[in-house]
Amino acid sequence: MNSGFEFLDKSELQNKTSYKWRQNSESTIPLTVAEMDYNVAPAIRAGLHSMVESSDMGYLGKFPELQSAFAGFARRHWNWEINNAKVRIANDLGAAVSEVLHIISKPGERVLINSPVTNFADWLKEVGRVPHDVPLINQGMQYSLDIVGIEHAFQDGVRIYLLCNPHSPVGANFPRQDLLRIAELADKYGAIVLSDEIHGPLVYQEFTPFLTLGPAAKKVGIAFSSASKAFNIAGLKCAVCLTENLTLDSQLDLIPESARHRASLFGAIATAIAFTDCDDWLADAKSVMQSNAHLLKDLLEQHFPSAHYRVPDFAYLAWIDFTESWMARFKEADVALLAGPAYGKGLGTFARLNFATSPEILKEAFSRIK
C-alpha cells in the first residue's frame, strides 16, 4: 500500500508496552481496548523521531499547526469551515469533556446520555455529575436515538446532553435529520449539546459533525474530536474541542490555564501531522477494517449462529449480542473481549469486539473457539 499502512506481526504486537498488550498474558489474543494492530502512519513517526532527535520535549504552549490541521481535515472530509482560532486543545477527549462540564454545569447536575455508551458514566462520576439515561432504541441491532425520550428529558429540566456522534459501541452513524432534531430541541429547551466526535474520521460513508447542522446546532453545540482513535495514537494525549457560540466560547476561557498545558507536545505534533498528511493511510486502514467487519460477520455465523451483529457504520469496534452467555467459551479460547455490562444495564449477553487487527489474527481468534 502506497500510504505506508502495515500490519504489525504477532511478535511485534507482543513486544508492545501499551494497555492492550500488558493487560493479558502473552498467549491471549486481545480484541479489547481501542488500539489498532497496525503501524502508526510513517509521517507521524517521522515527526516524532525528529522531536526526539532535537530534544524538543518541553511543555505544550501555542500550537497553531494543530488548529489549522484540524480545520483542514474538517474542510476536506466534512465540508466544515472552522475558525482555526476557536479550536481549543486538551489532553484527551475525556479530560476536555470534564473541563467543559466544570464550567457549564453544577455539581450534582443531571447530564443526558444514551446507553449503551462508552466511558460517559465514568466521566460524569469523575466530575460529580449524574447520568440521566435515555437509552437508544434497538431494532435488530440497528440503534437509533429516542427523540421523544430526549424531549421528555429536556421538558423534565435536563440541560446538558452528552451525545456520542457517531455512537460507540453500537456503531451507529445517526441520520442527519435525527441530529438536526436534537439541535432544534436543545435550542427550544435551552440545553447545551456536547458532541463527542472521536470516531467521526472512521465513518465509512458520510459523517455529520454536529456543528455543520445549521444555526440551532451552532448555538447549542460544543464539538470534541481527536486523532487518537483514527490514527492509533491514544497514548500521546491530545484532543480538541470548539464551539461556534461566542458566549459559550468566552465561558470556556474560564478553563484554568493549567489544564491547557496538560496535553503533550508529542500529542500535538502527532495530531497535527495526522490531520494534515495521513489521509491515504487512514483510507487504507479503513478499507482493511471494513473488510474485517464483514469477515467478522462470517466468523460469527459459523461459530455463534444465534448471535446478533450488524456491520458498524464506522471502523473498528463491533457490538455483538451473543443472546447467551459467551464469556466461558472466549475464556477457554484465550481470546479477550470487553463485556457488555460496562456499557449499560442488562447487557450480560453483549460484548464489544475490536477487529482492528489482521484478518489472520481475527480468524485465529475464532479458530480457537470450541
- Site residues (vs ligand PLP, CB under 6 A): 34, 92-94, 118-119, 164, 168, 196, 198-199, 226, 228, 234, 239
Q: Hey, is 192 helix, strand or coil?
A: strand
Owner of C-alpha cell 483514527: 230
Q: Give the C-alpha separation, 299 to 311, whole Å.
A: 13
78: cell is 466534512
Q: Which is nearer to ligand PLP, 37 or 92 (CB)?
A: 92
Rg for the chain (alpha carbons), in Å?
20
Q: Which is nearer to ligand PLP, 281 or 314 (CB)?
A: 314
Q: Which is nearer to ligand PLP, 211 or 317 (CB)?
A: 317
Minimal distance, residue 24 CB to ligand PLP, in Å = 18
Q: Give the C-alpha separation, 298 to 305, whole Å.
A: 10
Minimal distance, residue 18 CB to ligand PLP, in Å = 12
Q: Give the C-alpha separation, 85 to 195, whole Å.
A: 19
Minimal distance, residue 9 CB to ligand PLP, in Å = 25
Give CB contacts under 8 A, 24+ apart, made by 55-61: 56/265, 57/265, 57/266, 58/265, 59/261, 59/265, 60/89, 60/261, 60/263, 60/264, 60/265, 60/267, 60/268, 61/261
Q: Cα–chain-centroid distance for residue 204?
A: 14
Before 169, cis peptide (omega within 30)? Answer: yes
Minimal distance, residue 76 CB to ligand PLP, in Å = 22
Q: Which is nearer to ligand PLP, 13 or 198 (CB)?
A: 198
Contact predicate 314/356, CB 8 Å: no
Minimal distance, residue 2 CB to ligand PLP, in Å = 29
Q: Which is nearer to ligand PLP, 89 or 164 (CB)?
A: 164
Minimal distance, residue 92 CB to ligand PLP, in Å = 3
Minimal distance, residue 229 CB to ligand PLP, in Å = 6
Q: Which is nearer to ligand PLP, 93 or 274 (CB)?
A: 93
Q: Which is nearer to ligand PLP, 210 or 366 (CB)?
A: 210
337: cell is 473481549
Q: Cα–chain-centroid distance for residue 157?
A: 28
